[in-house]
A and B are shown apart, each in its own frame.
Chain A
Amino acid sequence: GAVVSQHPSRVICKSGTSVKIECRSLDFQATTMFWYRQFPKQSLMLMATSNEGSKATYEQGVEKDKFLINHASLTLSTLTVTSAHPEDSSFYICSAGSGLAGALGEETQYFGPGTRLLVL
């Protein structure tokens, strides 16, 4: 099946610094990528939907100036956590949709392995 990679898998940073997480679809083109956040023992929460060549759509309550998303190509989306603080520590997961137009119910999303961020 299709593969989605994330880099890095784990990152530790100091408070106030910025961290960039990459999400790549390795063997297919993804017009849309999704960024999720997961707290321990909780659901994956959708943060934003990233569309290639256009601005991301953020979910209510997600600060777009803090979580910068860039989807510059059909195989790469990046999430930058700006001025990170300890409360941003979490597990960030991306997924890429195969994008079957007009058949939303049949689209399969492929998930990356996640990036664990720890802000000290």
Chain B
Amino acid sequence: GDSVTQMEGPVTLSEEAFLTINCTYTATGYPSLFWYVQYPGEGLQLLLKATKADDKGSNKGFEATYRKETTSFHLEKGSVQVSDSAVYFCALRDTGRRALTFGSGTRLQVQP
């Protein structure tokens, strides 16, 4: 079956540091890949997505590239801010399915 594995947190960084959150997946078809962010007290929000191999999703300074050869979709940001503190979820939607398969989430804490 489908699965998503992402690095455990919490990840604690200083402001303006470089961020990488690793995500790898297994899927039976040709999945679309997503990163969702959950700010405290709020619902999950779509951060970025990629629908095919070598696509790069980007939003708000965050980027992730769909790497089929390594089955990965790592999230990166060059300079994090305190306001980026949240829980980040990697997810996939496999071919023919509408529901998402999620990773366990990674909490990011950015200190001033």
Interface residues of A (CB under 8 A from B): 1, 4, 6, 32, 34, 36, 41-46, 49, 93, 95, 97, 104-114
Contacts and interface: CB of A to CB of B under 8 A. Distances in A.
A39 B43 CA distance: 16
Contact of B51 (A34, A42, A93, A105): A105
A93 B45 CA distance: 13
B103 A111 contact: no
A111 B39 CA distance: 12
Contacts, number: 53
Nearest to A99: B98
Contacts of A107: 98
Looking at chain B, what size class is its interface with the partner chain? 20 to 34
B89 interface: yes
B98 A111 contact: no
Contact of B46 (A4, A41, A108): A108
A45 B32 CA distance: 18
A104 B96 CA distance: 7
A114 B43 contact: yes
Given A4-B43, A49-B98, A111-B43, 7 more contacts: A1-B45, A6-B43, A41-B104, A41-B105, A46-B101, A105-B51, A110-B43
B61 interface: no
Interface in B87-112: 89, 93, 96-105
